[in-house]
A and B are shown apart, each in its own frame.
Chain A
Amino acid sequence: MMLNALYAYAQREGLLEDPDVELLAVDALIVVGSDGRFLSLTPTTDERGRGLKRAVPRIPKRTVAIQPGFFVDNARYVLGWGGDAAKAKKNPERAEAFQAVVHAVAKETNDPGAQAVAAFLSKLEKQLPKVVEQREEWTGEERLAFRWSGDEEGTLVHERPALREAWARRRGAEGVGDRAARRMRCLVTGEIGPVARLHPSIKNVPGAQSSGAALVSFNEEAFCSQGLTQGENAPVSRAAAEGYATALNHMLSRDGDRRYRQGVSLGEGAVVVFWTREPDPVVDTLLNVLDFPQPAQAVHFAESPLRGLEPGKFDATRFYAMTLGGNAARVVVRDWFELAIRDLKHNVLGYFDELKLEGRRERPLSVWDAVRAVEPPGARGIPPDLGTKLIGAALGGRPFPRELLAAALRRLRVPDKDDGASFLLHTRCALIKATLRRPPHGIKPMEVSVSLNPDSPEVPYQLGRLFAVLERLQWIALEGVNTSIKDRYFGAAMANPGVVFPRLLQLSNHHLAKLLGRSKGSARWVEKLIAEVMGRLPPRGWSTTLKLEEQGQFAIGYYHQRQDFFTRRDED
Chain B
Amino acid sequence: MKAQSGRVFRLRARGPVACFSRPEMKVERVSYEVMTPSAARGLLEAVLWKPAIRWQVHEITVLAPIAWTSFRRNEVKQRMSEGVTFFADDSDRRAQRNTVALRDVDYVVSASFHLTEKAGPEDSVRKFEEMFERRLEKGQTFQAPYLGCREFVAAVEPAPEQVRPIEPELDRSLGWMFYDFDYRGEETVPLFFEARLERGRMKVPTLEQVLKAQVGAGEERR
Contacts and interface: CB of A to CB of B under 8 A. Distances in A.
Contact of B96 (A188, A223, A327): A327
A183 B176 contact: no
A452 to B, nearest CB: 36
Contacts of B188: 226-228
B25 interface: yes
B70 A184 contact: no
Interface in B58-99: 68, 70, 75-79, 95-98
Q: How large is the interface on B (under 10, 10 to 19, 20 to 34, 35 or more residues)?
A: 35 or more
A218 B24 CA distance: 9
Given A187-B176, A190-B194, A333 B100 contact: yes
A335 B100 contact: yes
Nearest to B28: A332
B27 interface: yes
Given A220-B95, A234-B23, A333 B217 contact: no
B152 interface: no
B114 to A, nearest CB: 24
B190 A336 contact: no
Contacts of A216: 24-25
A174 interface: no
Chain B CB within 10 Å — which of A1, A3, A327 has the most?
A1
A374 to B, nearest CB: 20
A227 B100 contact: no
A222 interface: yes
Contacts of A446: none
A1 B187 CA distance: 27
B187 A227 contact: yes
A163 interface: no
A319 to B, nearest CB: 13
A330 B176 CA distance: 23
Interface in A201-230: 216-223, 225-228
B26 A222 contact: no
Contacts of B26: 223, 225, 233-234
A335 to B, nearest CB: 6
A220 B77 contact: yes
Nearest to B217: A192
B98 A334 contact: yes
Contacts of B178: 187
Interface in B83-131: 95-98, 100
Interface in B172-201: 173-176, 178, 181, 187-192, 194
Given A192-B218, A233-B23, A4 B100 contact: no
Contacts of A217: 27
A185 B79 CA distance: 27
B214 interface: yes
Nearest to B31: A336
A353 interface: no
Given A188-B176, A228-B188, A335 B68 contact: yes
B25 A327 contact: no
Interface in A157-213: 182-188, 190-192
Contacts of A192: 214, 217-219
B79 A222 contact: yes
A278 B90 CA distance: 49
B24 A222 contact: no
B194 to A, nearest CB: 6
B27 A330 contact: yes
A388 B70 contact: yes
A185 B214 contact: yes
Contacts of B219: 183-185, 192
B64 to A, nearest CB: 14
B47 interface: no
A239 to B, nearest CB: 15
B169 interface: yes
A327 B220 contact: no
A381 B45 CA distance: 48
B23 A336 contact: no
A69 interface: no
A396 B65 CA distance: 13
B96 A185 contact: no
A222 B176 contact: no
Interface string A133-174: 000000000000000000000000000000000000000000
A404 interface: no
A316 B172 CA distance: 12
A36 interface: no
Nearest to B75: A222
* A-B complex: 5 closest residue pairs judged by Cβ atoms: A234-B24, A220-B77, A226-B188, A234-B23, A332-B28
Given A335-B100, A340-B169, 11 more contacts: A2-B25, A185-B192, A190-B192, A192-B214, A218-B27, A228-B188, A233-B26, A234-B23, A325-B98, A327-B96, A336-B68
19 contacts: A185-B191, A185-B214, A185-B217, A185-B219, A186-B176, A187-B192, A188-B175, A219-B27, A220-B77, A220-B78, A220-B95, A223-B26, A227-B188, A228-B190, A234-B25, A327-B28, A333-B100, A335-B70, A335-B100
Interface of A: 1-4, 182-188, 190-192, 216-223, 225-228, 233-236, 316, 325, 327, 330-336, 340, 388, 396
Interface of B: 22-28, 30, 33, 68, 70, 75-79, 95-98, 100, 169, 173-176, 178, 181, 187-192, 194, 214, 217-220, 222
